[in-house]
């Protein structure tokens, strides 16, 4: 039923988006069309990823999902840096981090928890992720924030570049650890769940899934870029600041794909993939996308230091502490989801009023 | 023996308190009488709560205790807001939080740990509480602190009201979770201890306990209000600032009931109730009393934002991190109690010198 | 092989150090000679400690190691306070804390993790240490930092003295807890590993170990003091600030003994001792050496408050959170070591640029 509606939305929404953007239709109207189309495309991406996850295992599935979700974000950010909008890029990185940790995980835990009393996932993965979250957000983002107060701009940029290189190296080391040296080492606990997954049949074949994922990503990319240009008018119309649009609106729409599939997986009690999407994606943003953008920004006239505003950094740090304390027992329930959502709403109000 | 002394203290202290306050005896003298009487009354409240806990189970017992302890506090705070003493209210909220987390828990763990080498409590409750503590103190109290630096007073108040509503909703959701949807779900581990408790006979019947609890609460309320009016003279006499009186003295005397019964329960190795009193009470203060006071303050000329001073917030956050790290293995010993007490003394010195 | 090289280095290095310092050879040359000799001496101290650990058990062995490592540090710091170099003392305390938590633990976990897929240590010790780390760094160091902003210098010093006394009392209480009241209480898990250790034969006898430890400590102390006087010239030569030398260089060379033996133990899979050296040493520095220095400083014209710079405090707090999140499951692997090392490099770059 829902799948049919989304199919119709995609086949109507994509052409209308193209026509509307070429004919310069009203920004408010196009904003609504773009958003709906992206959400519908996200559902396709979710189903494609789910099919791939059945074929290729939960980790690779989650990794694929995080990658396709963040590729779009990386492209938009590069265009923003080119346009000198450093503040918007840092805001949207913040939005992705708190959006994934609080909104995606919160919604998934809540929806999954309505159906199941207790949902479990690999406690080793939870701890591994917790360590990386503390490293990325509490160490690597906080140090330049505090140290740059007594630094010149050039020194701050040197520190940012140094930290960025180390983060990328550690991110690659994390992949090496997870996929090579310690592949399967911490897996013994969820043998059963993996066995169950083997019995499932994927909705689409691997080839069809990959093609749909590719086409949908291109479409989302195209529409996202047009969506960005409606923000100024929409912001004025609804009384939103650019900061609020960057942190809350861009993050919700930009991560809609991940939201949709994470909630879908939670509803099917596949919490390994939910955690991989929500926390794995945050780690990819903070340990790979953010530092890569710092390095790429060196090619442009205005370079981007790894220095967030104090409210942005506070929002990210407190989100990290909250998700760690809620997730490090390897169990979730609806109330933990509600707690994460409540934290997201509090931050949303804060950024709205700022 | 001790019970007899407390009985005598109550039957002498309460009438003398009434007479003394009507005849305007010396504030220093009355301060001592009030304090002693409250501590003696606390012992009665402790015994009544303990009897109720035997009849009605550890959770309801702890909840009752926290409620009767905080009802007095809520009333005093409303009178203070009416008198425009916003700073004193925030200070006494801070005092309750660090008093419960460090002094009550510290003293209980220490005294209990002298008798028992290792004391255990439900690890699921500990984790549930840890999540809420991080939500309340690290997220909901920190966000307005940081964000309000760039906000007008009106925006800060809007943010405070928004956060307060969300906190109260989540607090009610936590009750729903604990008492309805997940009642008994995380209980399997302490079957034995509950079985043991069934065999005990309560000191007083349920009816007698409730009557004593009610009368003692009224007496504590009456005396507390008179006590507050001696603070100014006592502060000048001993060289204490109003901040120190609000955070340390009010919290110790105002929470004496909880202190007394928590230590009593620890000595009887009923750590479930100790944790419910110390941490449950903190959660009730921070997630229900504090936000309720923000909303109630809207009815008065001077409204109260949810913005603590930096030392107050620092004291609360560091207390939360300390109690979480010490309690989240579901075990305590005398040294963990000593650590909490040491932290309390450090903060006491800090607020004394401030 | 390696032992032979170190033996030669010691028998050549020590006399050359004495001669060179008396004849005022070039500071740059002497700096290199001093460093090499200290590292070689460290290897002797490591072997002596290891022999003692076999005879006297892992805890006493670790305690001995931490004590001999920090005795040198305490002496150098007292000379620095006498010379009025308060900032250098606080910097070198910071350097010891982050050096032990990130560099020593990081290198040990990494090297040990290359050989063993998963290395385990007593999870109770890890939790006990975590509680003390939070107490010392997050509570006892943060409170004076924040509270002193609204205090006079005299009040700040009073607060520092009060906190220092409490910390030393709690440190002694921790020893009482570990060695007397709860000795062996939390040990049941590592019966096997202790059994294995009994079968080993120590390299040196207890007497020979103690003599070597004593002589090496004296030599390290003598050379360290001379090393300090080369820092000014070396700093100018290499473009290092005094802060960077204090935090990074002093800490690396000054703790070389602990580094060497910790890595050695990790390679032999004796993680109990590694943790005792890395975290136990940090606790000794922060809960005993630092407060003792505050009290000793009262005897000198310029007294030392317990107030670090904001970058120093940030570095210590974030290090504590990182080590806790990585170590509190009682397991390590190479990637956790790499994460700690990455954090150390980030902080090193930060202090270098500051």
Res. B64: pLDDT tops 80? no
Across B78-87, B95-104, C66-75, least confident range: C66-75
Averaged confidence pLDDT in chain B: 85
**Average pLDDT of B15-30?**
89
Res. C348: pLDDT tops 90? yes
The residue ranking higher by pLDDT, A239 or B347, is: B347
Give every residue of chain A whose pLDDT is below 50, as ranges. Answer: 188-198
Contact list in B for residue A311 (CB cut-off 8 A) is: 146-147, 150
How many interchain CB pairs under 8 A, A with B? 84
**Average pLDDT of B157-166?**
96
Contact list in C for residue A139 (CB cut-off 8 A) is: 318-319, 322, 343, 346
Contact list in A for residue B283 (CB cut-off 8 A) is: none
Show the beta-strand stretches assigned E in chain B: 119-120, 331-332
What integer pLDDT is reported at residue C175 of this predicted model?
84
Name which of C318, C333, C347 is nearest A138 (Cβ-Cβ). Answer: C318
Asked if C185 reaches chain B (Cβ–Cβ under 8 Å), the answer is yes
SS3 at position A120:
strand
What integer pLDDT is reported at residue B132 of this predicted model?
94
Closest chain A C-alpha to C194 CA, distance in angstroms: 26
What integer pLDDT is reported at residue C72 of this predicted model?
67
What integer pLDDT is reported at residue B175 of this predicted model?
84
Res. B88: pLDDT tops 90? no
Give the best residue of B127, B312, B320, B325 to mutate against chain C (max C CB count within 10 A). B325
What integer pLDDT is reported at residue A190 of this predicted model?
46
Q: Are A148 and A159 in contact (CB under 8 A)?
A: yes
Residues 6+ apart with CB under 8 A from C129: C275, C279, C280, C283, C327
Q: Do B322 and C138 touch (CB under 8 A)?
A: yes
The residue ranking higher by pLDDT, C128 or C320, is: C320
**Average pLDDT of B24-49?**
84
What integer pLDDT is reported at residue A186 of this predicted model?
67
Across A183-197, B128-142, C2-16, least confident range: A183-197
Q: Give CA–CA dist A263/A256, Å, rounded.
A: 11
ipTM value for the complex: 0.85
What integer pLDDT is reported at residue C354 of this predicted model?
85
Res. B172: pLDDT tops 50? yes
Q: Give CA–CA dist A110/A108, Å, rounded.
A: 5
CA separation, residue A281 to residues A73, A105, A257, A324, C87 (Å)? 11, 11, 12, 15, 42
What integer pLDDT is reported at residue C270 of this predicted model?
87
Q: Are C331 and C124 in contact (CB under 8 A)?
A: no
Q: Quick one: pLDDT band at residue C297, thresholds 50, 70, 90?
A: very high
Res. B244: pLDDT tops 60? yes
Q: Quick one: pLDDT band at residue B194, thresholds 50, 70, 90?
A: very low
Across A161-175, B102-116, B188-202, C163-177, least confident range: B188-202
Residue-level length of chain B:
354
Give the best residue of B131, B322, B327 to mutate against chain A (max A CB count within 10 A). B131
Q: What percent of chain C has pLDDT over 70?
A: 91
Q: Give CA–CA dist C258/C108, Å, rounded.
A: 11
Instruction: Convert C149-194 into a string of H (helix), E (strand) and C (coil).
Output: HHCCHHHHHHHHHHHHHHHHHHHHHHHHHHHHHCCCCCCHHHHHHH
Q: Give CA–CA dist A160/A88, Å, rounded.
A: 18
The residue ranking higher by pLDDT, B82 or B96, is: B96
The residue ranking higher by pLDDT, C153 or A201, is: C153
Across A146-160, A242-256, C210-224, C303-317, least confident range: A242-256
Among the ranges A308-322, B51-65, B73-87, B201-215, which has the highest mean pLDDT value? Answer: A308-322
Contact list in C for residue A171 (CB cut-off 8 A) is: none
What integer pLDDT is reported at residue B190 of this predicted model?
46
Q: Give CA–CA dist C347/C353, Å, rounded.
A: 10
Closest chain B C-alpha to C167 CA, distance in angstroms: 8
The residue ranking higher by pLDDT, B241 or C67, is: B241
Q: C321: number of CA atoms within 13 Å, CB side?
A: 27
Q: Do A342 and B135 touch (CB under 8 A)?
A: yes
Q: Among candidates B319, B270, B265, which has minimal Cα distance to B96?
A: B319
**Average pLDDT of B22-30?**
88
The pTM (predicted TM-score) of the whole model is 0.88
Q: Give CA–CA dist B301/B303, Å, rounded.
A: 6
Res. B168: pLDDT tops 90? yes
Closest chain A C-alpha to C274 CA, distance in angstroms: 20
**Average pLDDT of C231-254?**
80
What integer pLDDT is reported at residue C187 of this predicted model?
63
Beta-carbon neighbour count of residue B24 at 10 Å? 8
Among the ranges A215-224, B139-148, B240-249, C322-331, which has the highest mean pLDDT value? Answer: B139-148
Res. B44: pLDDT tops 60? yes
């Amino acid at each position: 039923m829902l799948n049919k509606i989304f199919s119709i939305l995609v086949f109507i929404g994509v052409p209308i988006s193209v026509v509307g953007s070429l004919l310069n239709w009203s920004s408010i109207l196009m904003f609504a069309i773009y958003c709906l189309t992206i959400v519908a495309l996200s559902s396709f991406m979710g189903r494609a990823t789910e099919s791939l996850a059945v074929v290729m295992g939960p980790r690779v599935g989650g990794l694929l999902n995080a990658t396709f979700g963040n590729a779009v974000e990386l492209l938009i950010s590069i265009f923003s840096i080119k346009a000198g909008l450093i503040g918007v890029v840092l805001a949207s990185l913040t939005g992705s981090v708190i959006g994934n940790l609080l909104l995606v995980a919160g919604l998934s835990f809540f929806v999954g928890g309505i159906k199941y009393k207790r949902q479990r996932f690999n406690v080793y993965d939870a701890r591994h992720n917790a360590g990386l979250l503390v490293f990325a957000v509490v160490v690597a983002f906080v140090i330049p924030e505090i140290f740059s107060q007594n630094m010149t701009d050039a020194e701050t940029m040197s520190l940012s570049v140094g930290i960025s290189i180390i983060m990328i190296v550690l991110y690659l080391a994390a992949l090496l650890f997870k996929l090579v040296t310690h592949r399967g080492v911490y897996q013994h606990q969820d043998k059963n769940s993996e066995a169950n997954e083997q019995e499932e049949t994927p909705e689409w074949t691997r080839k069809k899934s990959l093609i749909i994922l590719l086409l949908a990503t291109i479409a989302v990319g195209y529409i996202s870029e047009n969506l960005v240009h409606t923000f100024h008018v929409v912001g004025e119309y609804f009384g939103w600041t650019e900061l609020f649009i960057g942190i809350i609106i861009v993050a919700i729409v930009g991560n809609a794909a991940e939201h949709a599939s994470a909630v879908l997986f939670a509803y099917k009690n596949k919490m390994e993939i939910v955690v991989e999407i929500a926390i794995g994606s945050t780690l990819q943003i903070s340990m790979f996308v953010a530092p890569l953008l710092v390095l790429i920004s060196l090619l442009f006239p205005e370079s981007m230091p790894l220095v967030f505003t104090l409210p942005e950094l506070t929002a990210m740090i407190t989100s990290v502490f909250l998700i760690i304390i809620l997730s490090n027992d390897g169990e979730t329930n609806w109330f933990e989801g509600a707690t994460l959502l409540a934290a997201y709403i509090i931050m949303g109000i804060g950024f709205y009023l700022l």
